[in-house]
Structure 1
Amino acid sequence: MFYRPYRKLRYEIRCIASLHPLLYDRLARLKEGDADGPTRVTRHTGLVIEAFPRSGNTFAYFAFQSSQPECVRVAHHLHAPAQLVRAAHWGIPALLIVRDPLDAVCSFVQREPVVSLRQGLRSWIRFHRSLVRHRHHFVVATFDQAMTDFGSVMQRVNRRFATTFGVFEHDSGNTAACFRAIDERNTRLSGGVAPDESGVARPSAVRNAAKAVLKAALAVDALAALREEASCLYHDYAVQAGEDAGIAQT
């Protein structure tokens, strides 16, 4: 009876804590374990890759590591603004991936149905709004840029931070290899059982079919103000991503 409200409250507390580096660092230590799993930023980190959940973080991480001659210490998958704030303060190369808020929230709620659409939209806004004053300390890429031309994204990172990271060759073979590695990791973590399609970190026809229903629910008048705020934030970040990539914006 109390399990669902408890999980909603726990999620809200975690989201608020993730805005504050000192507080979140203590929580992040509890999530570390799997070699390719959530990893907090330290002074020894080579690169930070972060995003709101369901925004391409997993693909970006595997694409990046597959392109390096040796493993790089990457802070990733905590979905915490604090990661990028710390990177800015310490001068560590960092990449923020930003996805259209409606797509990101729908995908997230599919994976975490205990979170309401309103709560998910508020969280998306809070995540990105908290980073506005830091955003010129990291490279911004849109979800589409990361998922279709991650090599160009990493070229921007190298130019911005004078790094020499390997650049992903974004062809069908390398992309398929990344998705296989993601599926293998998910199967390993689930004890050899194929993961539920609602939660896999790759394109899924099952999720796409259900997403239309959630998008319709997000279109109600009661969420109009939140949608507008999220849309304005996304536009600003997308413009920065376009400017970083040398793309003219209209």
Structure 2
Amino acid sequence: MIVRKLIKNTKYRAGHIMGRHEILFKLLPLSEKNKEKKVSPEKDICIEGFPRSANSFFSRVFQMYNPTIKAAHHMHAPLQVIKAIEYDVPCIVLIRNPIDAIASVLVVDRNLSTRFAIQSYINFYERIWPVRKNIVISDFQDTTQHPHQVVERINQRYGTSFYMEPMTSEVKFTIFNQLQKAQKDLKQPEHLVAIPTEKKARIKQDVLKELTEQPLLLTANLLYQKFLEN
């Protein structure tokens, strides 16, 4: 158990550091999968956010309505956002209140340090804060309930013509099914699927207790509020 925690936290810290520094960001694993996810001048849009902030949901629904669009997404790295601005690629950053986002991350992997999970949330959004006026910010509620309005904001901000219809229960059901199928195809445990489940809800209760005992959570909350107010 101790060894697994050490390995997990070391790998998480390494990826976290690489995602915040330009030279190291270039060295991120260049698998075919990451080449598709990573931002470049050829991409049409960049969709980024801290893990468990509806990244999978919004990316799926966006690409369902815009199937020919080349999207950068799921690197969970602030440099992805910085480079999108540099390349003049339209960029949306998803944000979720820290206690829910961080708790969901910890539910996925109980070997991860609670304090470091909070610190990684803070580091992600602090790195993006100086460029917030150059991107579109979307809170979790808007991202999941009104993605068509988020797309309208993107179009207004960048002069693009991306398409999205108002969210319906049928569309949400389709996206959830796609995410569940992807999880099963990869033979991942139920708690890794990026949608609410009963198992995740049970695990989350223990996680929330740990989180509320961390003083650093206050800093994350204040940062989240700053983004909502700006």
Tell me, yes or no, whether TM beats 0.5.
Answer: yes
Q: After superposition, what is the alpha-carbon deviation per residue over 1:221-245, rounded to whole angstroms, capped at 9, x for unaligned?
A: xx21x112101110011223xxxxx
CA contact (8 A) 2:106 2:117 kept: yes
- Residue of structure 1 in register with 2:147 after alignment: 150
Q: Secondary structure at the match of 1:96?
A: strand
Percent identity of paired positions between Structure 1 and Structure 2: 25
Compare 203-212 and 40-49 and name the one that shifted more: 203-212
Task: For 1:165 and 1:27, locate their aligned partners in 2 and report how far apart those are by CA, in whole Å.
Answer: 29
Q: After superposition, what is the alpha-carbon deviation per residue over 1:107-140, rounded to whole angstroms, capped at 9, x for unaligned?
A: 1011122211111001110111111101111100
CA contact (8 A) 1:38 1:78 kept: no
CA contact (8 A) 1:151 1:168 kept: yes
Task: For 2:167 and 2:29, locate their aligned partners in 1 and report how far apart those are by CA, in whole Å.
Answer: 31
2:208 pairs with 197, 202, 215, which one?
215
Size of the aligned set, in residue pairs, is: 229
- Residue of structure 2 in register with 1:64 after alignment: 62
- Residue of structure 2 in register with 1:229 after alignment: 219
Instruction: Report the aligned-residue RMSD.
Output: 1.7
Give the C-alpha shift of residue 180 in structure 1: 1.2
- Residue of structure 1 in register with 2:78 after alignment: 81
Task: For 2:124 and 2:202, locate their aligned partners in 1 and report how far apart those are by CA, in whole Å.
Answer: 27
CA contact (8 A) 2:148 2:166 kept: yes
- Residue of structure 1 in register with 2:93 after alignment: 96
Q: Secondary structure at the match of 1:26?
A: coil
Give the C-alpha shift of residue 105 in structure 1: 0.8
- Residue of structure 2 in register with 1:24 after alignment: 25
- Residue of structure 2 in register with 1:245 after alignment: none
Task: For 1:137 and 1:230, locate their aligned partners in 2 and report how far apart those are by CA, in whole Å.
Answer: 22
Q: After superposition, what is the alpha-carbon deviation per residue over 1:21-77, rounded to whole angstroms, capped at 9, x for unaligned?
A: 3321321423x428xx96000110000001111110000000101112x42110001
Residue identity opposite 2:59 in structure 1: Y
CA contact (8 A) 2:5 2:112 kept: no
